[in-house]
Structure 1
Amino acid sequence: MHTVGELLRQWRHRRRLSQLDLAIAADVSPRHVSLVETGKSNPSADMVVRLADQLDVPLRDRNRLLLAAGFAPRYPERPLDDGALTAARNAVERVLRAHEPYPALAFDRRWNIVTTNRALEPFLADVDPELLRPPVNLLRLGLDPRGLAALVVNLADVRAVFRSRVRRQLAAAPDLELTALYEELLAPGPEDGPPPESDVMIPMVVRFGGRELRLFSTITTFGTPMDITLDEVAIESYYPADAETAAYFETPPDEAGKAPSVS
């Protein structure tokens, strides 16, 4: 089991900071940082949190630091349907509903889908039921041929984007389960070419309903969470990348069949 000093040093190295950099950011002396890392000084709980804050340590890992220092965890982890998170859950649902008629979903740090809006439902109609058993994993759903991969025209580009995102996520906060998922679905193979290039962004091109829909996405997170669940929830909202795609989503369902297919 690692000491709190060893864990803090690992996080400092991960963030590529010197002891002086961390000391200045946390408004403490470099000597104190050195003494904490070597175990010659026992930090208070507030000091652990202060250093973790400057190192941008996720709340889950801050609890581990506190435990290693001999203190109780400070950050609870409640399910999103817990009464204490009602306001946050309502905010997530409001964002998802407001984004309709375009698809949007919320997922956790391991890419397990928490909830979606109605605009995503038509795309799931032909997905293998096995992939839709909770917890539904967005990476597996998007990259498995039994899932949405069969609809994605530029699957190699989408895989490269997912790969880059998960690599950055693991570099920021290592996770054994996410690493296993990366190795299962995203490890580069001989068929993978160089990362896609774009002057603006990489769209996801989906062939659906006789059309090719071009979508890009944005990510929304909670700004100042004090709960682990909220710290790890992200909302991904998809937007049309061209007028034809916008017209497809904005056409009422009873008129969709009358709309001309995108060539």
Structure 2
Amino acid sequence: MASQAGVSTRHLSFVETGRTAPSRAMVLHLAEHLDVPLRDRNTLLVAAGYAPVYREEPLVTQAMLDRVLRAHEPHPALVVDHRWRLVQANRAVEIFLDGVAPALLEPPVNMMRLGLHPDGFAPRLRNLPQVRAFLLPRLARQAARTGDPELHALHEELLAHGQPGDPPEPTDIALPIELTYRGAELTFVNTITTFGTAFDVALAEVAIETYLPADDETVAFLNSTPPAPSTPR
């Protein structure tokens, strides 16, 4: 750690044992090398006797996310937090919400639950076994890595609706999301974007999931179908 951070082992040891009080710059320097989340960096600063430096401005963050999400239309795009809870979405996400049980749309909406629950859009997934086999192990690893009890509970809940099957064959460049929507058979590939240069606490804690058309038929459908008038937030 001392070598990576460019700090002497003696000084780092003194900071670690409390013999030396770290400067504000040193707290931020070590937190950066340890990849500490911004919210926790503020906590470290307060513990060291300094004021927090990373702001959290929900209205500013929401406005920027709105612009990003609208720019993705007509492709579905949504913002989720680290527990897969829906934060914001564009109008095209109606493709996934159509026909979902109202109880699953009560805030906070969880997109992992929405996709794998039998009352969600799982019945419209033409390749549900492959999607389940990919997402459930991913959720299990995330829960184990973070130790988050809510993620553990979500994983157990979704396992009750069906065990993951065999992993999908890596015969394509990406796992497709094959979805039926109002008589049309749509195919998407999913991308996840995070803000690597975020200095706002809330912005650093979310990711944007975008569903891009994987075939010409889906492109034609999205370009010919106007977005729904509104989407739950």
TM-score by structure 1 length? 0.74
CA 1:108/1:27 → structure 2, altered by over 3 Å: closer, same or farther?
same
> Of 164, 172, 181, which aligns to 1:208?
181
8 Å CA contact 1:128, 1:146 repeated in 2: yes
Aligned to 2:64: 91
1:54 CA displacement:
0.8
**Which amino acid counterpart does residue 183 of structure 2 have in structure 1?**
G
141-150 vs 175-184, which moves further = 175-184
Residues 1:42 and 2:10 aligned together: no
CA 1:215/1:46 → structure 2, altered by over 3 Å: closer, same or farther?
same
Residues 1:109 and 2:88 aligned together: no
Which fold has the larger relative contact order, with Cα–Cα distance below 8 Å and residues 6 or more apart in sequence? 2
CA 1:151/1:173 → structure 2, altered by over 3 Å: closer, same or farther?
same
> Of 96, 118, 135, which aligns to 1:145?
118
1:175 CA displacement:
3.5
Alignment of 1:9-24 (within 5 A): 22-24=1-3
1:109 CA displacement:
1.9
**Which amino acid counterpart does residue 196 of structure 1 have in structure 2?**
P
1:137 CA displacement:
1.3
CA distance, structure 1, for counterparts of residue 225 and residue 193 of structure 2? 27
Aligned to 1:250: 223
Aligned to 1:193: 165
Aligned to 2:127: 154
**Which amino acid counterpart does residue 98 of structure 2 have in structure 1?**
A
Aligned to 1:28: 7
CA distance, structure 1, for counterparts of residue 128 and residue 66 of structure 2? 29
| Percent identity of equivalent pairs | 55
Q: Where does the alignment leave 5 or more consecutive residues of structure 2 unmatched?
A: 227-233
CA distance, structure 2, for counterparts of residue 172 and residue 55 of structure 1? 16
What do the CA deviations read for 1:11-58 (whole angstroms, capped 9, x no partner)? xxxxxxxxxxx2222211123333333444332232121111011111
Aligned to 1:182: 155
Residues 1:54 and 2:43 aligned together: no
CA 1:164/1:61 → structure 2, altered by over 3 Å: closer, same or farther?
farther
> Of 207, 210, 224, which aligns to 1:234?
207
**Paired residue secondary structure (1:162):** helix
TM-score by structure 2 length? 0.82
Residues 1:125 and 2:98 aligned together: yes
8 Å CA contact 1:102, 1:239 repeated in 2: yes
**Which amino acid counterpart does residue 182 of structure 1 have in structure 2?**
H
CA distance, structure 1, for counterparts of residue 97 and residue 125 of structure 2? 13
1:162 CA displacement:
2.8
Q: How many residues align?
A: 225
**Paired residue secondary structure (2:88):** strand
**Paired residue secondary structure (1:239):** strand
**Which amino acid counterpart does residue 52 of structure 2 have in structure 1?**
P
CA 1:183/1:31 → structure 2, altered by over 3 Å: closer, same or farther?
farther
1:168 CA displacement:
5.8
174-183 vs 52-61, which moves further = 174-183
RMSD: 2.7
CA 1:168/1:46 → structure 2, altered by over 3 Å: closer, same or farther?
farther
CA 1:64/1:238 → structure 2, altered by over 3 Å: closer, same or farther?
same
**Paired residue secondary structure (1:136):** coil
Aligned to 1:8: none
8 Å CA contact 2:195, 2:203 repeated in 1: yes
CA distance, structure 1, for counterparts of residue 86 and residue 37 of structure 2? 20
CA distance, structure 1, for counterparts of residue 46 and residue 144 of structure 2? 23
What do the CA deviations read for 1:75-129 (whole angstroms, capped 9, x no partner)? 33343xx2xx1xx433322222222222111122222112111112243231111
Q: Where does the alignment leave 5 or more consecutive residues of structure 1 unmatched?
A: 1-21, 254-263
